[in-house]
Amino acid sequence: MQKRRLGSGDLEVSAIGFGCMGMSWSYGPPKDKQEMISLLHAAVDRGVTFFDTAEVYGPLLNEELVGEAFAPFRGRVVIATKFGWEANPNDGGKWNSLNSRPEHIKQVCEGSLKRLKVDAIDLFYQHRVDLNVPIEEVAGAVKDLIREGKVKHFGLSEASAQTIRRAHAVQPVVALQSEYSLFWREPEETVMPTLEELGIGFVPFSPLGKGFLTGKIDENTKFDSTDFRSSVPRFSPENRKANQALVDIVSSFAGKKQATPAQIALAWLLAKKPWIVPIPGTTKLARLEENLGAAKVSLTPEEMRSLEEASSKIKLEGARYPKFHEQLVGR
């Protein structure tokens, strides 16, 4: 597996990472723990060194899974986790309240260190921008944790270019994690020029469009009530039917390249910038191997242009988040 550098610092990771969220949360009920540990070990065996989790996934379950899985590989893998949420006592303890106050960030850090079974968090992201706390205070709190040796690198998720600049002025931001794929290209206009200017890496989550770009989902697919796509406007049956045209284009390119649609979607991201590291998630070994195969698919500048021109003609239907989550991005 090739390596890539995130940001202008010394954080080097596998060109394709692994998003662990779906093993415990958001894509249906939590999966069997031992099976998931075996899959994470298989990813390491195949050269993956970059794994993504968060306190809120589960909540807490995913960090515990990741901590147990990688205890034998300490120092050989880079683990990213996130802070910024807490249980809301006014809503039955649901984790739907933002909290990036400095004292809370430090508490979260201590809990994550224990669950991950590490001495320092490799990459600590603010999960969503909290408008009640100036980003300078957030960056300052992480800077303190870096000085104390509890965190190695600072990241942001779904932040605006202006917020990234303000944070970076206090503590260098190594990576931005935001949704980006052929199914959601807005970051090209809103944040990527700033990332390039400041030397910040980009970690696209949902690089396969929450599974849509694999070609395995259509208008007839039924989502479990515990699968968050059941509440996403872009995944309503009528919008899936309308958006199928994009999958058809990606599938057509895949046929020409003797690759799968998922591999084309990931290869496109890898070809966009050398500082982009996508983190597809899966719970199946066959899908892991398919995703990693994307690193061997090279797209020429002409193929990139052709793919982008064809896909940009498709008018994609539906918001990418329900209203509550939609208001928390790009702040």
**Catalytic center residues:** 57
In 164-320 the beta strands, taken as DSSP E runs, fall at: 173-179, 201-205
Q: Do 49 and 76 form a contact (C-beta atoms < 8 A)?
A: yes
3-state SS assignment for residue 249: helix
**Using an 8 Å Cβ cutoff, are 328 and 156 in contact?**
no
Query: Amino acid letter at 243?
Result: N
**Distance, CA of 181 to CA of 265 (rounded, Å):** 7
From the list 57, 14, 21, 47, the residue with the least C-alpha distance to 36 is 21
CA–CA separation, 191 and 161 (whole Å)? 5
- Nearest Cα residue to 182 out of 325, 299, 80, 282: 299
**Residue 279, CA atoms < 13 Å, CB-side half-sphere:** 25
